[in-house]
Chain A
């Protein structure tokens, strides 16, 4: 019953296929979400991501304004441009959310993460680990005769790179804080 003679060039077969066929690029965005520091707010934010099937690559949260009871949640997420816009709109309409900033589009931003990295080893590999730590400006915050704990801050990529180098040298454990990020300048 083609009452209107309309050409169909669709590749989608599902009413639920909401992906934009023209913008299948997946982008990573860092969002700063300023929320009222009330119980349940973090659960609401996380529930939004899990309930609607959005990705969380990293999430950090801490109170940043004690007097104003404000917390800052920094979320690194991935998706098509349309999904990223949805995520921001969905976050923005949560009642306890005060502000949503997309640091990836609002201008240059600095991103830092802190990691503690435990490496065990003796002999050559132990010396090599220490040498690399110096290059990466990682500090030794604990050492025994068989192990180091390095502390380093940097972008997530830098931490990934360092951890990868440590793997053959005796990497045991990594603890990471997740990303904190701020826009550059005023």
Chain B
């Protein structure tokens, strides 16, 4: 027998200790047979708070909301088999939006792996394509090191979700704990400093560009608050216009004078036309997603393109760029500003003045205009009122997926990073409610609102139980059009108004549902009552389900139909007849 060592402990104890050493405060999880030893250890301590969810998908989205609103990695714990498979959608969501997560899953004991044991699933096999990295730990001696490495991998370079699969016998066995300082340095060390020559080349372009535009994305947010600060400095100092993807909202303030609004499929007219007509595009932490580019062959045809990204595989993946800069946004912007200043802070003033004049003409089109109504609540109006009544508050917004999500991006203004949590890459209905709980757990005093569609919201509504149990006073602001609105819009535009299965019958009475959960329900259908109802929601000390009955057939504009270039944008109902040809209809 080996001598018992002072730092020897069970795998389960090691897990909790490693999480503590990594500074973890909250774990979102759901127990089951294969993780019971870990739950025992959680029971025996008070440093880490465990939030019991109602479905493992909810746990992952909560961890995502927590991570996106704090900049820290989110942590979730699930059992083997169905617990792990329920986590797959959330993992994929986090992978596509580059959200740092560490997910621990239980597994059948090592000696049963491969026997189709009860609640056995090939978790590392299933989650390999939806994690940045995953590990099956077969030996307790490797456990602490693997957990520390997992945190390093999740948060370094382009962040992402990682998963550690831990068989039950590994949780019971004892071994030596390895501190995070003692682990061997992981070889995974992505480059953060950008190439100075490339940055200098970009500075030269900044100095002469006549029609420049900053096109920013989630990479700025992921780089941390300092990156947003540097971006603001750069934009103010150069006087260049700036637009952002859905993922990057808040990095530059919506009230800033150079702000063009969001770009892309439902982006603003001025933002998309600036992208189309610019002579210098500076992509900072965005990835030329197909929602942004439209038809690739006609994407911004006359511009020189620079691309700052920490992930080398993002460069030249979709759009060929002229000045690639691989590095962390914060580091690169710091160097960029320094070099630009040292060369005399030059910009092409004349060119810029003309460019802004052109942009002002585009802005004058007032692309977000909609037909107001005295009788029904227009979804845009509801969001304008929500914005007006919550502006200046310590506010965080999450969303579900659909028209309401796009309207929220268009009509709500974000003044700071980490305040806007939405499923961008995967477009996961059911994201917003659990994400809002994750945000609220991280910011107990803040006003956290999930702007939801009724269909998406139902996908994870069981998590209202979590909100109640953990006193997370999240506000569920449901724009209820009794339709799968975004699907209905596409069917109207692409499929000859054949509304195949895009409406919801037998919707629950949301107010009664709220009562059933023990929280507050508010229903509003008259525009005149809206302000009071929103104030009631804000003032209520607890979770609220707000059923906002809105116009059922409103379409979300502007819209660049799939397969169309930026300068072929639809602005309103009149232009929508037969606009999307067969070629566009095959796209999503």
Chain A residues with CB under 8 Å of chain B are: 1-4, 6, 8, 10-18, 20-21, 36, 39-40, 43-44, 47, 51, 82, 85-86, 89-90, 92-93, 95-96, 98
Contacts and interface: CB of A to CB of B under 8 A. Distances in A.
B132 to A, nearest CB: 7
Nearest to A43: B128
A90 B317 CA distance: 10
Interface of B: 124-125, 128-129, 132-136, 153, 157-158, 187-188, 190, 273, 276-277, 290, 293-298, 301-302, 311-313, 315-318, 320, 362, 562-563, 565, 567-571, 575, 583, 586-587
A4 B276 contact: yes
Contacts of A43: 125, 128
Nearest 5 interchain pairs by C-beta:
A10-B297, A89-B313, A12-B297, A13-B583, A95-B133
A80 B475 CA distance: 50
Contact of A15 (B125, B135, B295): B295
Nearest to A81: B316
Contacts of B318: 18
A92 B571 CA distance: 43
A21 to B, nearest CB: 7
B148 to A, nearest CB: 14
A162 B20 CA distance: 63
B134 A6 contact: no
Contacts of A82: 316, 320
A117 B273 CA distance: 63
Contact of B565 (A8, A39, A51, A92): A8
Contacts of A96: 133
Contact of B128 (A16, A47, A85, A86): A47
A40 to B, nearest CB: 6
B313 A90 contact: yes
B83 to A, nearest CB: 20
Contacts of A89: 312-313, 315, 317
Contact of B567 (A1, A16, A36, A93): A1
Nearest to A7: B301
A6 B312 CA distance: 31
Given A14-B583, A18-B318, A89-B312, A44 B128 contact: yes
A95 B161 CA distance: 12
Given A16-B290, A40-B124, A93 B587 contact: no
A70 B567 CA distance: 51
B565 to A, nearest CB: 7
Contacts of A2: 567-568
Given A2-B567, A15-B296, A51 B129 contact: yes
Nearest to A39: B136
Nearest to B584: A13
A127 B555 CA distance: 79
B338 to A, nearest CB: 28
Contacts of B129: 47, 51
A4 B318 CA distance: 23
B301 A1 contact: no
A32 to B, nearest CB: 17
A98 B312 CA distance: 15
A12 B295 contact: yes
11 contacts: A6-B302, A10-B298, A12-B297, A13-B583, A15-B587, A16-B290, A16-B587, A44-B128, A89-B313, A95-B132, A96-B133
Contact of B313 (A14, A20, A47, A93): A93
Given A15-B294, A95-B188, 19 more contacts: A1-B575, A2-B568, A4-B277, A8-B298, A8-B565, A10-B295, A11-B297, A13-B583, A14-B586, A15-B290, A15-B295, A16-B587, A20-B320, A40-B135, A47-B129, A86-B316, A89-B312, A89-B315, A89-B317
